[in-house]
Structure 1
């Protein structure tokens, strides 16, 4: 720029005009050259920038297309997921509906089971009481059959008394004290739970009865061991003691404490001992067989209170002890019951008179029941006589009858 200004200043001197013009021309040529070079450089830079822009634009366009494709793919996936969520929600709703329905059905079934159980217990309680009364009445009739059997002959006595196992029902000690356990016989059986077994949902039980055996694997047993799962007794069982050869004795050798019945079973298996070798490894051992037999001791404790079921002491697995309190474990158990019955009449009559103001026969406790009791006894005796006369008919057919003794078949007038 400075040479150009200097050339314009020389023109005022009017000297060397041509030289100045030449100088100016050279300057303008150089300027034109520089401008052309600058323009060329600018065009080159612009072309490079344009190419870079086009390249970036192309890349961005491709990336945008990829994003659009990815967006379309994600939208399709979202639609699929929404459809799946809708289906899953429908399944959840259906499952919730089924759960609610099944819950209601389960509650209804449980209520029905409870109702059925109550109805069954209510319906069978009276029948069991009647069966127990009939069993006691049968025991009474069988006790009186000795005299009747002596009158009509030994053959009938053998037939009639074959239903009674007197070895495990009655016992006369050395002092001629008679213990009659037949009223303790249940129409079903005693099921005793061992609360010390610690088996969780499984319950170890022992099944027994008085005066009659219980069945285990088609064998007669005095006591057998079983398992109860969810209040259901499974069929598998293990005989503890057999019914044969019961041994009577007094509890602690004291006749006033009660009666004890001893039953024996097979050889008792002892628990295996745990041993370890020199490397501290467990050595497998087999259960040992002892010379001792399994025993079940049934103790009828003398008491004015009659327990409904036995208690068990299973601390010694080879010697199981069963305990029950009953007046029939006392000397003269029937007399104790008579005293209890008299006390029941006296106390019941006193309460009815003093509290309810009843008089006369209405003051008698449970008057309606005792009013019907003779008819119940009448029916029971008729049934027993019918069984006896049926036995007589068998004897008559076998031995030609006992016409000279005036025995008639059929019902007799009471």
Structure 2
């Protein structure tokens, strides 16, 4: 029974990944693209090659006198912000909040099922980071908003939110990810696992009924294990999330 518990616990951890098959698998941290188990996320169509897509936006969650600009994928120059992805603008000054070259995809801290892109830059001996939270919306329009500077973050962190079908695997661009043209790896794993569970239960019930004379719930193989299933699901989920969570103050992403 102990062995069965360990196996099922590990299976639950593995299939926790299925709920996160849209998470980035990049090793080279491309500014525009992210390879996932479900396909390619390509946000290149959301940026401007010769300008700024989202210019002088106001912070809506943590208001300030500053305005914020963001351009996905392509660098821009504006005041003191050079080769920038994100810029903070005041009446008399401006600050580079992250360069395109520093773009890094990772799991979002606030929601492990979402991807985040972080950008960093150093100006006046101060490191600043912009974190863009991506939300997949297959059928809706693209929206962008600025939360503002995350309270108490040191060094300063700035939170943006970008919702688009382009944040979905194969939603925009080439869509040439590993999941195109058929079932994703995660879907295949789920189907295979479901079939194995059905065969296991059916075969176990038949064996217990015909060979052991068991009936009712006693005919179910390892019935005690299945009664503990909800608790194991919870344990597996908590374990998986904590595995990727990292400490530290302020808003952070999980790599």
TM-score category by the smaller chain? 0.3 to 0.5
TM-score by length of 1: 0.29
* Structure with the bigger percentage of helix: 1
| Higher normalized contact order (CA 8 Å, seq sep 6+, divided by chain length) | 2
Give the structure with higher Rg (CA). Answer: 1
* Structure with the bigger percentage of strand: 2
